[in-house]
């Protein structure tokens, strides 16, 4: 009876997040072994066979009256579009972190935006862990918090706990 009540409270998006979390726990070796058990040895492609298969598929799929000029036009399509501008990674990063010339001068920003500007400060690993734990504990107490929100914080917490992030 409790399971039926529990399932009644789970939305479709929550179920998708649960499936996603479960799928992340499956190792690639498990998937490989499962496919080997299902398929015969001839049907399993190795990396070399896979690239050859892809090349054959590309030849078959692209053989419909395509001339060299059309291919070059497809390749150059992005550079001919007026709405697109090539921006370097550094430009993108500086604009996001308020480091560009447009956002460096606070006089240029309207006064309402000055209040919303976030000063960037580096958090220590311990601080990040403490704040994540507090946020997670808060969500645990809230009745309106969804499993998806809790899962996002669990994923964040596990990333902070992992030795790679230290």
Q: What are 99-136's pLDDT values in tens digits?
A: 545 555 544 555 555 555 556 677 788 888 888 888 88
Q: Is residue 143 part of a domain?
A: yes
Cβ contact 147:14 at 8 Å: yes
Task: Say if 19 falls within a structural domain.
Answer: no
Residue 58 forms part of a structural domain: no
Q: Identify whether the C-beta of residue 164 lies closer than 8 Å to the C-beta of residue 27.
A: no
Does pLDDT of 86 surpass 80? no
Longest dimension (CA), the chain: 69
Domain count along the chain: 1
Residue 93 within a domain: no
The reply to whether 155 falls in a domain is yes
Q: And the tokens for 144?
A: 């309106």
The model carries a pTM of 0.31
* For range 16-35, the mean pLDDT: 87
Assigned domain for 72 exists: no
Beta carbons of 154 and 129 less than 8 angstroms apart: no
Structural domain of 140? 125-161
Estimate to the nearest angstrom the gap between the alpha carbon of 72 and the chain centroid: 31
> What average pLDDT does this structure show over 58-71?
66
Do 164 and 125 touch, CB atoms closer than 8 A?
no
| pLDDT over 70 at 159, yes or no | yes
């Amino acid at each position: 009876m409790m399971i039926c009540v529990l399932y009644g409270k789970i939305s479709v998006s929550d179920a998708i997040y649960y499936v996603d979390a479960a799928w992340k726990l499956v190792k690639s070796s498990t998937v490989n072994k499962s496919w080997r058990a299902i398929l015969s040895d001839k049907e399993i492609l190795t990396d070399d066979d896979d690239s050859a298969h892809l090349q054959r598929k590309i030849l078959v799929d692209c053989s419909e009256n395509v001339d060299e000029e059309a291919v070059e036009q497809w390749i150059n399509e992005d550079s001919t579009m007026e709405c697109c501008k090539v921006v370097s990674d550094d430009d993108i990063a500086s604009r996001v972190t308020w480091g560009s010339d447009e956002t460096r001068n606070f006089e240029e920003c309207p006064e309402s935006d000055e209040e919303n500007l976030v000063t960037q400060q580096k958090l220590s690993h311990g601080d990040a862990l403490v704040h994540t734990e507090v946020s997670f504990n808060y969500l645990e107490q809230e009745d309106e918090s969804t499993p998806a929100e809790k899962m996002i914080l669990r994923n964040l917490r596990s990333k902070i706990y992992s030795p790679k992030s230290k």
